[in-house]
Amino acid sequence: MSRRPRKRWGVRLLVTAVLAAGLYLGADRFLTHPDTPLPENWNPTEPLNVAARQNPMTLWKLRNAARGRNTCLAALETGAIFQTIPDTEDSAQCHIRNSVRLRKVAGASLRATDTRCDLALKMAMWVEHGVQPAAEKHFGMPVRAIRTQGSYNCRPIFGTQRMSTHAQAKAIDVAGFTLASGRQIELLKHWDGTPEEKAFLRAVRDAACDWFSTTLGPDFNRAHADHFHLQSEGWGTCR
Ligand SMILES: [Zn+2]
């Protein structure tokens, strides 16, 4: 599944106008002046806010935030409940760096999960901008919990010698969702469930591809029949 084409002409015009104004006033002053007319979520010097409306600056801000520990934690605070924990260094191949213990993202709680800050931040963006809108659309209510199967796991990819991205907590597995009413939506049971269950699960899979570099689910292979594998690096596989 590739990215959906979007109507971008209006956005391009706006970006051009903003850049032209910036050049005219002097980019620095324009961006950092307390009275800058540029809204916070368009201003590249303002940190990422998970809940802010998406725009063409969003992915740029996300990449920037993910680069440093402090910038990542500052961004994560805007859309998640977590604590910082010491890094785990089990071996050269197995570690969690920039560690956080994640408990809640964008209103949905999860079993406390130790992972990297940048992965947690992508998870928060996915739940805020993908999962919650899809739940509202298909079920008329938000998701209150996400069932994860963990992030850090020092192991090779099943059936190979290569280490899994889980060995460095660069992926998280998601098996299902609990709606506000308590209704459970599980990949294994509902991937081929009712029309709205099917539509919801495919919508959240497709939305994951907007935030994660690799997204694998039931359409990829049988090993992923019961969970989405959401990975912060890779070559753009989205199935
Ligand atoms: Zn996985």
C-alpha R_g of the chain: 19
Dig out the tokens for 212 from the structure. Answer: 């994660």
Banded pLDDT at 17 (limits 50, 70, 90): confident
Ligand 1 centre to CA of 155 (Å) is: 11
Ligand 1 centre to CA of 147 (Å) is: 13
Contact criterion met (CB below 8 Å) for 235 and 178: no
Give the count of alpha carbons within 13 A of 110, CB side only: 29
Question: Cβ contacts of residue 33 below 8 Å, gap of 6+?
Answer: none
Predicted local confidence at residue 43, as pLDDT: 84
pLDDT in tens, 123-171: 999 999 999 999 999 999 999 999 999 999 999 988 899 999 999 999 9
Ligand 1 centre to CA of 194 (Å) is: 26
Residue found under tokens 């009413």: 181
Domain 81-231 adopts which CATH fold?
Answer: Muramoyl-pentapeptide Carboxypeptidase; domain 2 (3.30.1380)
Ligand 1 centre to CA of 230 (Å) is: 7
Ligand 1 centre to CA of 231 (Å) is: 8
- 3-state class (DSSP) for residue 42: helix
Ligand 1 centre to CA of 204 (Å) is: 16
Ligand 1 centre to CA of 26 (Å) is: 46
Predicted local confidence at residue 32, as pLDDT: 63
Ligand 1 centre to CA of 84 (Å) is: 23
Whose CA is closest to 238, among 217, 224, 227?
217
With pLDDT > 90 as the criterion, what percentage of the chain qualifies? 76
Ligand 1 centre to CA of 205 (Å) is: 14
Ligand 1 centre to CA of 69 (Å) is: 23
93 pLDDT above the threshold of 80:
yes
29-49 mean pLDDT? 76
Ligand 1 centre to CA of 232 (Å) is: 11
Predicted local confidence at residue 1, as pLDDT: 46
Ligand 1 centre to CA of 127 (Å) is: 17
7 pLDDT above the threshold of 70:
no
Q: d(Cα 3, Cα 219) in Å, to the nearest integer?
A: 16
pLDDT in tens, 96-116: 999 999 999 999 999 999 999
pLDDT in tens, 188-199: 999 999 999 999
87 pLDDT above the threshold of 60:
yes
47 against 176, higher pLDDT? 176
Please tell me the pTM assigned to this model: 0.86
